[in-house]
Amino acid sequence: MQATTDFKLDSWVEIPANSDFPIYNLPLGIIKHKNGTISATTAIGQYVLDLSVLHRLAYFKEIALPVGIFEKTSLNDFMALGKPVWKLVRQRLMVLLTRDNPELRDNKDVVVQSLFKSSDVEMLMPVQVGDYTDFYSSKEHATNIGLMIRDPKNALLPNWLHLPVAYHGRASSIIVSGHDFHRPKGQVTPPGINEPSFSPSKAMDFELEMAFVIGKSTTLGQSVPTSKADDYIFGMTLFNDWSARDIQRWEYVPLGPFLAKNFASTISPWIISTEALEPFRIKAPEQNPEVLPYLERSREDCSFDITLEVWLQAENSEAMKICTSNYKYLYWTMDQQLAHHTINGCNINIGDLMASGTISGPTPDSFGSMMELTWNGSKPIILPNGQERKFLQDGDTVIIKGYCQKDNIRIGFGEAKAKVLPTL
Amino acid sequence: MQATTDFKLDSWVEIPANSDFPIYNLPLGIIKHKNGTISATTAIGQYVLDLSVLHRLAYFKEIALPVGIFEKTSLNDFMALGKPVWKLVRQRLMVLLTRDNPELRDNKDVVVQSLFKSSDVEMLMPVQVGDYTDFYSSKEHATNIGLMIRDPKNALLPNWLHLPVAYHGRASSIIVSGHDFHRPKGQVTPPGINEPSFSPSKAMDFELEMAFVIGKSTTLGQSVPTSKADDYIFGMTLFNDWSARDIQRWEYVPLGPFLAKNFASTISPWIISTEALEPFRIKAPEQNPEVLPYLERSREDCSFDITLEVWLQAENSEAMKICTSNYKYLYWTMDQQLAHHTINGCNINIGDLMASGTISGPTPDSFGSMMELTWNGSKPIILPNGQERKFLQDGDTVIIKGYCQKDNIRIGFGEAKAKVLPTL
């Protein structure tokens, strides 16, 4: 059921060229209908298919699914059914949507009840996030930040090549794409000054990230080896770890970022299964020095070739692509991140979110934050309307997009989009 | 209904001298009966009173309480009913337990159904923690750590006196008192060495803390001023932020502690209401330099006089008190912590936990961690069995206790107790 070059699967639902959501993708998300009902769905072309309707009408009768499993406000209970069930549901959706299968296609009543234009529904948070962890796994990003704010001769700190550095983030303020937020205020200092003033942040930034969702829990004391990490990963999303650099600079010693990050983080609404991503596996960067045995990668091709883009749209201006990066640049891979996170016995729960950290590539146009793109404000970005940007202004919208492409098959992630509103 | 010197309230339930749980306390917790049923309870002397039974039998009929509200696995839904309801339930329990009131006392059938020996029930986690934040609010502790591991001339970092430093912790690994845990393993380095080895932690420590529980939510963008903080605080617990110092030393730059802390944190099972603590209000330490206006304290007596003790019990040895401290030493108070946490618009949810950071006092016997008590291992503690301790050994149990005392009235917190088991 995976994308290959030999065989091309089509759907009876019309799918525009370059759609993020061909029949090979079938991501899962939570929608709210105009009448207020909430249900789990998949995306197909410019439509969403309501799984709760299909389930009520026995389209999943061959799979042991609890009553009402697709009527929840998150995918957590569905994830708890386990990977074999995730796969069966995905396979069944693929069969139901295949061009030649009349089962759903010719049942016009059911199609009317279950297939909706994407523009007619509201996307909600796909999962209830328990704990959210943010890694710092791009060598290029960590090096750039080190060059700018620490000792340029020792841009990477001594631990960085030995372990995937991470910190705990705030789960409550993760918001789904399309929800704008207010610029944070707080204590800021100019660089080098140790007397704070109170102000809206003057150095609002985005961070281009991806995240994976935990679909299987562990108990306290248990560790997940890299070779088993796949069993625990439900799928992936786009992620924007909004950052207020001037708040961060002042507050972050010695315990890490806090108010500089926890005012908002934006997640894309569709979770792309690791199955859909299988054809896009790729080698991750070589690691030197050698890692400790518990961090040895599970396989050769343990990363994914996912093109990532950041678009900036000021008010009264066209959107402009300001960054093109790729997930494959990450030095630390998901299996390593998960093995590290649990090596001390830390338990993980269904719905936990693990973000990658800013994904910067090797070239200046692939840097994943304003701070890097403008080199700490020294090289402003010129927008289509002629304005300059060192950091984000009120009214600026940042849109993160991502997709895999191979042999005319494209698996897209949709987008993680939000606008910076003025401070409340 | 508060403790005063003028009037002493007694209960028809026998309460031993020096009990943590007189009729003035009435903390809330979640118990599991031997038959597996779970319910919300209060503690009175050496007994627990099952609120679900009383509710079913209409003992709360004057209060608008939902059916089954005391049959949940956490207090979160009860907290959501709001502060006026918390107060009414507390008042009603005080009336029901008063010596002269026959209402429950003389209804032997109901007493048998609802009053249980504490030793006959299991205490569960009292709340479902959404996000957990750990502050770093003891000046003595931050100074001690700075003296030991950073520049002794600048022990406090420049931001410390201007804001209550904090970081996000891991909610999933918070465990209730009585649950032991395994020593974490991971990457450790000797001081000054930048080449990690893989090992069980050799520098296991406790941190004497308290925590407060959020009982009222905010929405993203909203800030809680110090003057309104009380409305959001449901109550307080004891807290042990277990720490692996050798893991921490290597991993914590630049994003803060991660695996050094997230393997386990121990919470005491009873939540003491801020109402019960009212008579023990006290001034907090003066602050110099002056804080920014959003951090101005809400009132003169915005701290609490809570004696805190740490007991260490090695296997085959008596328990030994190794620390006596007090909550009142904290430089940053709860209203300031909450105002700071939300000043940037970060939203808080019912069930969030905000821990104080290690509570060290001014004298060496009041330091709240092994690292400080033994001054980084240079002054070992001698146990009753003659053994030395620089850090914790496998089999060591740490017990944190806390109580307020005034005019023969004692409000206790119970204990937060757990044993360090060998690495799995």
Please state, rounded to an integer, the average pLDDT across all residues of chain A.
96
Topology match between the domains B28-124 and B132-421:
no
Q: A388 CB contacts (<8 Å, ≥6 apart)?
A: A380, A381, A382
Contact B61, B88 (CB under 8 A): no
Predicted pLDDT at B193: 83
How is residue B421 written in tokens?
Answer: 């088991």
Q: How far apart are the first and last CA of chain A?
A: 49
Q: Find the mean pLDDT for residues A143-164.
A: 94
Query: Inter-chain contact B253–A157, Cβ cutoff 8 Å?
Result: yes
B40: distance to nearest CA of chain A, Å? 23
Q: Does B159 touch chain A (CB under 8 A)?
A: yes
Cross-chain residue pair A259–B344, CB shorter than 8 Å:
yes
8 Å CB contact between A237 and A126: yes
Are B263 and A348 a contacting pair at CB < 8 A?
A: no
Q: pLDDT of A296-308, one tens digit each?
A: 999 999 999 999 9
pLDDT digits (tens, 9 = 90+) for A337-348: 999 999 999 999
Decide if A196 and B252 are in contact by the 8 Å CB cutoff. Answer: no
Residue B199 is predicted with a pLDDT of 97
B28-124: CATH homologous superfamily? Fumarylacetoacetase, N-terminal domain (2.30.30.230)
Q: What is the pLDDT of residues A194-211, one digit of tens each?
A: 899 999 999 999 999 999
CA distance A296 to A61: 41
Q: Which of A176, A336, A344, A348 to mutate to test the interface with B (most CBs of B within 10 A)?
A: A344
CA distances from B110 to B44, B50, B70 (A): 16, 10, 16
Closest-CA distance, B373 to chain A, in angstroms, reads: 21
Between the alpha carbon of residue A197 and those of residues A189, A253, A258, B165, B227, the distances in Å are: 6, 17, 17, 16, 21
Instruction: Decide if pLDDT at A5 tops 60.
Output: no
- Residue A329 tokens read as 């640049």
pLDDT above 80: residue A37: yes
Question: Over chain B (424 residues), what is each successive 10-residue block's mean pLDDT?
Answer: 59 96 98 98 98 98 97 98 98 97 98 98 98 98 94 92 98 98 95 90 98 98 98 98 96 96 98 98 98 97 98 96 98 98 98 98 98 97 96 98 94 98 96
Q: How far lies A55's CA from each of A1, A59, A270, A271, in Å?
A: 21, 6, 20, 20
The predicted structure's pLDDT at residue B261: 98
Class of domain B132-421: alpha beta
B385 in reach of chain A (CB within 8 A): no
Cα distance from N-terminal residue to C-terminal residue, chain B: 49
- Residues of B in Cβ contact (< 8 Å) with A198: 292-294
Shortest CA gap B74–chain A (Å): 16
Q: Please compute the mean of the pLDDT values over residues A150-159 and round it to a whole number.
A: 91
Closest to B168 (Cβ–Cβ): which among A170, A186, A253? A170
Structure tokens at A99: 């061009």
Q: Is a pLDDT exceeding 80 seen at residue A127?
A: yes
**Domain residue ranges in chain B:** 28-124, 132-421
- CA-based nearest distance B83→chain A, Å: 22
Closest chain B CA to residue A257: B255
Q: Residue A117 has which token pair?
A: 């234009």
pLDDT at A59 exceeding the cut of 50: yes
User: Which residues are within 8 A (CB) of B290 and not within 5 positions of it... i.e. 6 or more apart?
Assistant: none
Under the banding of pLDDT at 50, 70 and 90, the label for residue A4 is very low
The arithmetic mean of pLDDT across residues A360-376, rounded, is: 98
pTM above 0.90, yes or no: yes
Residue A392, CA distances (Å) to A181, A204, A369 in order: 13, 5, 10
Is B179 among the residues known to form the active site? no
- Given a cut of 80, whether residue A405 has pLDDT beyond it is yes
CB < 8 Å to A165, chain B: 251, 254-255, 258
* pLDDT score, position A7: 59
Mutate to test the interface with A, among B147, B165, B247, B255 (most CBs of A within 10 A): B255
> Is ipTM beyond 0.95?
yes
How many Cβ contacts (< 8 angstroms) between chains A and B?
180
DSSP letter string over A300-344? TT-EE--EEEEEEE-TTS-EEEEEEEEGGG-SS-HHHHHHHHHTT
For chain B, the helix, strand and coil percentages under 3-state DSSP, each to the nearest 5 = 25, 30, 50
B169 touches chain A (CB under 8 A): yes
A215 vs A225: CA distance, rounded Å: 16
Which chain A residues are closer than 8 Å to B130 by Cβ?
A: 171-172
Which amino acid makes up residue B270?
A: W
Tens digit of each residue's pLDDT (9 = 90 or more) over A393-402: 999 999 999 9
Nearest CA in chain A to B149: A254
Residue B133: the pLDDT is: 98
For tokens 């410019």, what's the residue? A46
What's the pLDDT score for residue B5?
43
pLDDT digit string (tens) for A247-294? 999 999 999 999 999 999 999 999 999 999 999 999 999 999 999 999
Does the pLDDT at position A8 exceed 80?
Answer: no
The whole-angstrom separation of Cα B323 and Cα B20 is 19
Name the B residues in 231-250 with CB < 8 Å from any A CB.
244, 247, 250
